[in-house]
A and B are shown apart, each in its own frame.
Chain A
Amino acid sequence: MILELAPTDRPFLPRGVRVQPDRVRGGMVLLAPEKAIRLDAIGEAILARVTGQASFDEIVDDLAQTYNAPRDQIGTDVQRFLVGLRARMYLGVNP
């Protein structure tokens, strides 16, 4: 399976994967089966937009606008982040 998301793919966090505040260490953490991943500001910003409704392109557009950053660079970063999650089965994708 190709893990890269197509522009129209709509990613979501599947059952058993969630983002929640880390009330002891601060910040947000991604919790998945037998795994806890501390999110940096970028990861947090991406996952806040992973709703199952927004497409990959819409997520990238939104981030590029919000952070006033070059769209190509954002697209590459988001793709790399989401592919990493998908390889571990922490991310689902609706066509």
Chain B
Amino acid sequence: MTIPPPIAMLAELTHRCPLSCPYCSNPVQLQGKAAELDTATWADVFRQAADLGVLQLHISGGEPASRPDLVDLTAAAHDAGLYTNLITSGIGLTPKRLDALESVGLDHIQLSMQGTTAGLADWVGGYKGGFTRKMAIAQEIKARGIPLTLNAVMHRHNLDDLDATIDLAVELGARRLEVACVQFHGWAVRNRDMLLPTFEQTEATKRTVAAATKRLRGILAFDFVPPDYYSDYPKACMGGWGSAGLNVTPDGTVLPCHAAESIPHLTFQSVRDVPLADIWFKGDAFNAYRGTDWLPEPCQSCERRDIDFGGCRCQAMMLAGDASVTDPVCTRSPDHGLVLKVLEDAGVARKDGEFTYRAYAGKQG
């Protein structure tokens, strides 16, 4: 099998973040500031990535604006020839910093949305005053004409807010709205009973997105990530393991996807020790589930084998306890009953209490 070079890299500059969203995609074991790569090492990683074939760099975290050297890092990525996308909550950005980011060639901003009112957004994000600050910076982004995508992470407590989210995206001049329903890994698993939408909400959401896509064509583009527990077939996670994208964590560990550390038997290499190209082409973790030869039945003989590649490895790990089986979300999986059980239990256990917010080990709430 010829291994193609990666197209996109997610650079998690830091796990630090002023928000503490209960579905944070960072691992449950968060890395502290002391572990983070320094400016020069990140800049070198960006150059290695561009040499390897990466075209798109997603500058993320945690909150990447928590890094004082964000402008220098963006400049380094731009100079390496990468398309630079800043994934941010907006907290930590200022008009002055936006000016600096623009001047070093930042291409695009993806701004996260937790809700369309301060009450809802600040509750979900676990950060009082966050919504007001986010809206202020969104206006600054709009005034500068920086290309903007809103990423609305949706779940049971804000899906009914979707119409207002769409209106807000148009008002802020966003070109694109990602309606991303929470995927259950890491922190989100701990909040599953709070976050899992109902079947009715999911169906209503599909209708709303379809209607808005039509109504707003030429004004706002949509990307929709449905809650996969209600899907018939699994998501083609990462477009195929080790085929298009890679993720570098704050301390330089290189992962095939942001949740891959949840698969305990995999070992990961670091850019501190090994060149990025060697990790991509030769690393055990990247080769573990690459291609389709390793796929079990029913995937191996399935006509969808090359469409979804057996689904998400981390989800197979979490739900079935084995990362090498068919994603249990698939209705053809022998483990699909596990998903049905989760949905049934969630119906019973559905609660409107408090979130378990993300936090560093040893800290409370």
Measured CB to CB, the residues of A under 8 A from B are 1-3, 14-17, 20, 22-25, 29, 31, 33-36, 86-89
Contact = CB atoms under 8 A, between A and B. Distances in A.
Contacts of A17: 147
A16 B8 contact: no
Contact of B7 (A16, A36, A87): A36
B218 A16 contact: no
B53 interface: yes
A33 B52 contact: no
A35 B361 CA distance: 36
A24 B49 CA distance: 11
Contact of A29 (B51, B55, B176): B55
Contacts of B5: 24-25
B221 A31 contact: no
A88 B108 CA distance: 15
B56 A31 contact: yes
Interface size class of B (residues with CB under 8 A): 20 to 34
B23 interface: no
A91 B83 CA distance: 17
A36 B218 contact: no
Nearest to B106: A16
A33 B55 contact: no
18 contacts: A1-B218, A15-B145, A16-B146, A16-B175, A22-B55, A23-B81, A25-B53, A31-B83, A33-B110, A33-B147, A33-B176, A34-B110, A34-B149, A35-B56, A87-B218, A87-B221, A89-B218, A89-B220
Most B CB within 10 A of own CB, among A14, A34, A36 = A34
B53 A24 contact: yes
Contact of B83 (A1, A36, A86, A89): A36
Interface string B151-180: 000000000000000000000000110000
- A interface, by DSSP: helix, strand, loop or mixed? loop
Contacts of B53: 22, 24-25
A3 B219 CA distance: 10
Give me the 3 closest cross-chain CB pairs, A-B, nearest first: A16-B147, A1-B218, A24-B53
Most B CB within 10 A of own CB, among A22, A35, A88 = A35
B175 A89 contact: yes
A55 B8 CA distance: 34
A36 B149 contact: no
B268 to A, nearest CB: 24
Given A2-B218, A15-B145, 14 more contacts: A16-B108, A22-B55, A24-B51, A25-B53, A31-B83, A33-B107, A33-B110, A33-B149, A33-B176, A34-B8, A34-B85, A36-B8, A87-B218, A89-B175
B108 A34 contact: yes
A86 B205 CA distance: 24
A89 B221 CA distance: 6
Contacts of B185: none
Contacts of B176: 33, 88-89
B217 interface: yes
A87 B220 CA distance: 8
B67 interface: no
A14 B176 CA distance: 14
